[in-house]
């Protein structure tokens, strides 16, 4: 499965397939207290997963929440030298890592299952191409590109 994730500004993202159909959307809403809530919606607008920033700073951390329960704990481990982001939850421990933040490999445990490539668009904004083997794809996978954008914000632009 190959998805294209394009930031639309103000915490919004469109997730399209190879035929340029919008499969998911990601939006952000501010809370009165605390950090903004980012929500992944399917094509019909149904909210699937929620993401909340739990730590700010150079290496932010997040929680991906499903049915009001933490599903993944996300940590930005390294930003410059061998950048990596870990997604730990239940039986699924994913990691995005590479030699630079523009070409990351997605691992499930120690097995490579996909990649995340960052390119610049004509307007100089990033465009993320996320490829995942079909056997390992799930609805939360597009949030991996959103986390990457938030971890490397300003560095990928």
Quick one: average pLDDT of 17-38?
A: 83
Residue 38 lies in a domain: yes
Q: What is the mean pLDDT of the chain?
A: 89
pLDDT band with cut points at 50, 70 and 90 for residue 29: confident
Residue 156 lies in a domain: no
Question: E strands within the chain?
Answer: 2-9, 12-16, 22-29, 37-42, 47-55, 61-66, 69-78, 84-89, 92-100, 103-108, 111-120, 126-132
Residue 64 lies in a domain: yes
Residue 87 CA to residue 109 CA, distance in Å, equals 10
Instruction: Look up residue 137 and give its two tokens.
Output: 């794809």
CATH number for the domain spanning 23: value is 2.40.160.200
Q: What is the pLDDT of residue 135?
A: 94
Tens of pLDDT, residues 67-96: 889 999 999 988 878 899 999 987 889 999
Residue 136 lies in a domain: yes
Query: By three-state DSSP, how is residue 16 classified?
Result: strand
| pTM score | 0.90
pLDDT band with cut points at 50, 70 and 90 for residue 16: very high
Strands 37-42 and 69-78: unpaired
Tens of pLDDT, residues 107-140: 999 999 999 999 988 888 899 999 999 999 999 9
pLDDT band with cut points at 50, 70 and 90 for residue 156: very low
Residue 39 lies in a domain: yes
Residue 102 lies in a domain: yes
> What is the rounded radius of gyration, in angstroms, for the C-alpha atoms of the chain?
14
Residue 146: which domain range? 2-151
Tens of pLDDT, residues 44-63: 999 999 999 888 888 889 99
Entry field: residues in the chain: 157
Q: What is the pLDDT of residue 157?
A: 41
Give the number of domains in the chain.
1
Residue 157 lies in a domain: no
């Amino acid at each position: 499965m190959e998805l294209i994730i394009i930031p639309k500004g103000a915490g919004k993202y469109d997730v399209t397939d190879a035929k340029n159909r919008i499969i998911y959307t990601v939006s952000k809403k501010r809370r009165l207290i605390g950090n903004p809530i980012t929500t992944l919606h399917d094509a019909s607008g149904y909210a699937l997963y929620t993401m909340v920033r739990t730590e700010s700073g150079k290496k932010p951390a997040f929680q991906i929440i499903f049915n009001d329960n933490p599903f993944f704990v996300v940590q930005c481990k390294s930003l410059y030298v061998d950048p990596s982001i870990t997604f730990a939850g239940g039986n699924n421990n994913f990691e995005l890592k590479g030699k630079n933040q523009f070409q990351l490999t997605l691992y499930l445990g120690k097995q490579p299952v996909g990649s995340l490539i960052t390119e610049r668009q004509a307007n100089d904004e990033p465009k993320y191409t996320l490829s995942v083997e079909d056997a390992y794809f799930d609805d939360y996978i597009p949030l991996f590109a959103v986390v990457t954008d938030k971890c490397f914000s300003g560095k990928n632009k």
